[in-house]
Chain A
């Protein structure tokens, strides 16, 4: 029987080899296409089935985990009795349940604990952390840290950060300069949250950029994390060669209203990069740095449009009243619409007797389009 089959295949091959090349290719592709299609449908079925099974398993295990957390943490009878968290003991029998040995369950447990810790601070938050440690879940996280896959490393960094488990500088600092942007961002965020003494130390060694999306995340962490030691960010404005770090520090200087940073920020007005100069001007405006007005006016005529617009906005924010004439000239004689619009806004933002008189004067002396600009800027319904 086997011999017949081999003969048959041999004959088929002989006939196949007699066919023209393009037909041979077509036949080969037909077989590949049919196999790939069958495989694709199999994969769709498998994927949906796996999702279904996963959901079922999560649905089964979640109540058990919730019960554990409720019994051991939320309803722990030692809570509120001024007993130090580290001295509170959990029910060892409950923790040693076999189900918690399974990697899948342990991962769900970690994720659930993280969710709870986001909602509970204080004693309950500390007890959740203790549960994480007592169940040796940090070992799982540290094991992920050793993985070659960057997304596993990120998962580990996030888990350890959320559970406030310190990671040694030797491990985390190199990651803050990783060439992988995602890993780099996660490591930087972790470093800020975990480092008790110098959370911004990595700024000193940062050679890789701090991307705008990462800045969002870091800004939120810095401005919402309790007990974080906020340094004077002008240090990096003056000395960092990483443009994105300087740009981010300018935003933080403005947010924390670090008036002492004004001289360092003003130095950036001489920088060759006009985007950089624009960032510095925005910062000076937010700091209401009256001392910078004179320099901004002096350099104004040599600036590209984006910097000129930012100077006008900054002058509106500072609103010292010293340069109303300058603003008036720009409004009346500039041929650029954005300049006139921002000059008008800056005058109106002064909101003083002089500025109001100037607005009235401008309404009388200027042409129709400029009058429309003033009306636009005066209308409280128009925000932008």
Chain B
């Protein structure tokens, strides 16, 4: 009886995992093809696009750039100067001082000749109280608006305040220390302005690691592949996630997430959806889901678009401890999101989001670490009882390994076919080398930290935000905590 049950359970587990594995591999293969088609289409269009037409045009839609800052005293001045250099005619920069305990606010007041002003705004999204709003007396900084508020213990809370005070119909959500390309606004608004039938509710672009790049006063001087191993793994992960994953999803209008580090949003839809959720650990993905729910519930034909250009460079953690904290939080956010929006799973009322995006996130993002973890335990069980057919097991392991190497290599190839950000062979080789060891070193870490995140979420463990302070860009990168630029949900 017992043997029969074990045999039945084994058969069930193996069959389920087999179907699951085949499904995952097929999805990656389809994504690789779709992203290739989409990137080629983008490049063909891009070859004759003249972005200069928007510079100085009175028809350019207004964009509010929202960048929360918490204890960024070391780098805040160069960060703001960097944000004030966009090649775009109609934008404002809103810096939210999220109750910093250092001298962030005072430095900004002194540097940009700020004075407190009587500022009226509509509290469309609830957030912690605002202590003061500042404008510059220097005409050169007329685009700058600084809001000082009580600490809300979440980027979402600060961003909501930014949305409340913003003047324009679109807002760009970023982190104050992200390094953005000067053409970011024009490149992100273009998919919105060239869509024929749908209303584009959000656009995003690729993010990369800035760890070993040369940066001067918030401006990127030289792009280099990260030297620290952990950051280099993340670079590969970001390339695969953005260039291969999101470009593929974008082709069928099923982008699962717009990264918190860089995303341009339709303010009306974001506000009507309720804005960012400060209680969420993955507020970027959560907002995307809520916006989708809103547009489907209100029968608005909307889409989310991605472009393959890298427009944002961000520092990735270089110590395992900080990396663990980041990934644990992302995993908690994913589980939280799935539970909060479970109604959308396989719900045809939510179109592709309900039938593609949500099931993908559920089965292949949320469950993947659990299934892998169970698989390892099952493997140990089989080894212990001498039930492993070693030749077959080795063939299957080689199969999974070579397939994963192929997908990652294709993403590097797609990246190289598009823009060739790295100027030297050495940089390409550095990233390409990661393809072969990622599965052995980096991937197990992701699985363990994800399981940890799920466990913490299920046991309602209090989240520790840790020290979010930054040391700023240096030639030799220090360990820093990255922002919520989750590329996980490809």
Q: Which residues does A use to contact B, with CB under 8 Å?
A: 20, 22-23, 26-27, 29-30, 32-34, 36-37, 40-41, 43-44, 47-48, 51, 151, 154-155, 158, 181-182, 186, 209, 211-217, 219-220, 251, 255, 337-338, 341, 369, 372-373, 375-376, 379, 381-384
Contact = CB atoms under 8 A, between A and B. Distances in A.
B434 interface: no
A51 B47 CA distance: 16
Nearest to A218: B53
Contacts of A219: 57-59
A26 B396 contact: yes
Given A37-B406, A216-B60, A375-B118, 7 more contacts: A40-B409, A47-B416, A47-B417, A220-B57, A338-B122, A381-B136, A382-B135
14 contacts: A29-B25, A33-B402, A40-B409, A44-B412, A211-B193, A216-B59, A216-B60, A219-B59, A337-B122, A372-B118, A379-B117, A379-B135, A382-B119, A384-B92
B119 A376 contact: yes
B56 to A, nearest CB: 8
Nearest to B56: A220
A223 to B, nearest CB: 9
B392 to A, nearest CB: 6
Given A155-B48, A376-B120, A213 B57 contact: no
Given A33-B403, A151-B44, A384-B167, A23 B395 contact: yes
Nearest to A379: B117
A36 B405 CA distance: 10
B168 A44 contact: no
A186 B405 CA distance: 42
B398 A212 contact: no
Contact of A48 (B142, B406, B416): B416
A241 B396 CA distance: 62
A181 B194 CA distance: 8
A37 B405 contact: yes
Interface of B: 18, 25, 44-45, 47-48, 50, 53-54, 57-62, 92, 115, 117-120, 122, 135-137, 142, 167-168, 190, 192-196, 392, 395-396, 398-399, 402-403, 405-406, 409-410, 412-413, 416-417, 420, 425, 428, 432
Nearest to A152: B44
Contacts of B403: 29, 33
Q: Which of A23, A212, A219 has the most CB of B within 10 A?
A: A212
Contacts of B410: 36, 40
Contacts of A23: 392, 395-396
A67 to B, nearest CB: 27
Contacts of B135: 379, 381-382
B170 to A, nearest CB: 12
Nearest to A149: B44
Q: Which of B135, B406, B420 has the most CB of A within 10 A?
A: B406
Contacts, number: 131
Given A30-B402, A369-B120, A44 B53 contact: no
A337 B271 CA distance: 15
Contact of A36 (B50, B168, B399, B406): B406
A48 B48 contact: no
A151 B50 CA distance: 14
Contacts of B396: 23, 26
Given A27-B395, A379-B118, A213 B48 contact: no
Contacts of B48: 151, 154-155, 158, 182, 186
Contacts of B392: 20, 23
A278 B407 CA distance: 49
Given A23-B392, A151-B44, A217 B53 contact: yes
Contacts of B195: 211
B413 A44 contact: yes
A23 B395 CA distance: 7
Contacts of B45: 151, 182
Contacts of A155: 48
A154 B44 CA distance: 10
Contacts of A36: 406, 409-410
A369 to B, nearest CB: 7
Contacts of A376: 117-120
A376 B121 CA distance: 9
B47 A151 contact: yes
B62 to A, nearest CB: 8
Contact of A41 (B59, B193, B409): B409
Contacts of B60: 216
Nearest to B124: A337
Contact of B402 (A22, A34, A220, A255): A34
Nearest to A341: B120
Contact of A217 (B50, B168, B412): B50
Given A47-B416, A381-B136, A30 B398 contact: yes
A33 B402 CA distance: 6
Given A30-B398, A36-B406, A48-B425, A212 B194 contact: yes
B406 A40 contact: yes
B432 A26 contact: no
A367 B116 CA distance: 21
Nearest to B410: A40
A182 B192 CA distance: 15
A213 B402 contact: no
Given A40-B412, A44-B413, A381-B117, A26 B54 contact: no
Given A30-B398, A372-B120, A37 B409 contact: yes
B168 to A, nearest CB: 7
Contacts of B168: 384
A338 B124 CA distance: 11
Nearest to A217: B53
A220 B409 contact: no
A213 B193 contact: yes
A26 B44 contact: no
A211 B59 CA distance: 12
Contacts of A32: 406
A20 B18 CA distance: 14
Contacts of B59: 212, 215-216, 219, 251
B13 to A, nearest CB: 14
B413 A43 contact: yes
A44 B428 contact: yes
Q: Which of A338, A376, A381 has the most CB of B within 10 A?
A: A381
Contact of B142 (A37, A158, A213, A383): A383
A144 B137 CA distance: 55
7 shortest interchain CB distances as A-B pairs: A384-B167, A33-B402, A337-B122, A375-B118, A213-B193, A26-B399, A212-B193
Nearest to A369: B120
Contacts of B137: 381
A33 to B, nearest CB: 4
A34 B115 CA distance: 63
Contacts of B190: 213
Contacts of A213: 190, 193-194
A363 B44 CA distance: 58
A183 to B, nearest CB: 10
